[in-house]
C-alpha cells in the first residue's frame, strides 16, 4: 500500500513548456506585426460577407438549443468527473478496500442509473431534437 503523495516537481516540465509556448505565441504575434506590409483601406477592414457590405451586427441572439446543450454538458461532465477517481481507485492496490468493493460497485451502478434516468427525461423532453 502506497501513501498518496503529491510532488510538485513532477509538474515543473509542464510549467517550463507552457512558458515556452506562450513565449512562442507572443513572439510570432509581434513578428508578423513588424514584418508584414500594412496598407489599411476601409474596404479591407470590413467584415467579410461574400463581397457585400455587411448588414447589421453579427452579434445577435441565437438559438436557445445551444444553451441547453451547454447545460447538458455540465451535468454529464460533472458525472464523468466523479467516475474517474472511482475507476482508478476501485480495483487498485491501496484503493478501495476489499470488503467495501461490492457496496461501492452497487453505489456506482445506482449513480449511473440515476444518470440514465436524467438522460431519458431529457430525451422525452426533446432536448436532443434539433428541428
Q: With contact defined as beta carbons under 8 Å apart, do 115 and 79 qualify?
A: yes
Q: Tell whether residue 80 is a contact of other proteins (CB under 8 A).
A: yes
**Per CB under 8 A, 11 contacts other proteins:** yes
Q: Which of 52, 62, 97, 126 binds other proteins (CB under 8 A)?
A: 62
We find the least distance from the C-beta atom of residue 121 to other proteins, in angstroms, to be 13
Figure out which of the listed residues 1, 2, 3, 50 binds other proteins, where binding follows CB under 8 A.
50
Round to whole Å and give the CA distance between 57 and 21. Answer: 34
Alpha carbons 25 and 13: distance in angstroms, whole number? 18
CB 29, min distance to other proteins, A: 6
Instruction: Rule CB under 8 A: say whether 112 interacts with other proteins.
Output: yes
* Interface with other proteins (CB under 8 A), residue from 18, 100, 110, 117: 18
Q: Is the Cα torsion angle 94, 97, 102, 103 positive or negative in sign?
A: negative
**C-beta closer to other proteins: residue 58 or 99:** 58
**Vertex 107 angle, CA 101 and 112, to 5°:** 125
User: Please, where are the H alpha helices in the chain?
Assistant: 12-35, 65-89, 101-125
95 is a contact residue toward other proteins (CB under 8 A) = yes
Does 114 help bind other proteins (rule: CB under 8 A)? no
Residue of 53, 59, 64, 99 interacting with other proteins (CB under 8 A): 59
SS3 of 9, please? helix
Residues 27 to 46: which contact other proteins by CB under 8 A? 28-29, 31-33, 35-40, 42, 44-46
- CA–CA distance, 37 with 59 (Å, rounded to integer): 30
Amino acid at each position: 500500500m502506497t501513501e498518496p503523495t503529491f510532488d510538485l516537481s513532477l509538474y515543473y516540465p509542464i510549467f517550463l513548456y507552457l512558458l515556452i509556448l506562450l513565449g512562442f505565441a507572443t513572439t510570432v504575434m509581434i513578428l508578423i506585426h513588424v514584418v508584414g506590409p500594412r496598407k489599411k483601406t476601409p474596404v479591407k477592414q470590413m467584415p467579410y460577407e461574400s463581397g457585400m457590405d455587411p448588414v447589421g451586427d453579427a452579434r445577435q441572439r441565437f438559438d436557445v438549443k445551444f444553451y441547453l446543450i451547454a447545460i447538458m454538458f455540465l451535468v454529464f461532465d460533472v458525472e464523468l468527473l466523479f467516475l474517474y477517481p472511482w475507476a482508478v481507485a476501485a480495483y487498485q492496490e491501496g484503493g478501495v478496500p476489499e470488503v467495501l468493493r461490492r457496496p461501492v460497485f452497487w453505489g456506482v451502478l445506482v449513480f449511473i442509473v440515476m444518470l440514465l434516468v436524467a438522460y431519458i427525461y431529457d430525451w422525452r423532453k426533446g432536448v436532443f431534437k434539433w428541428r
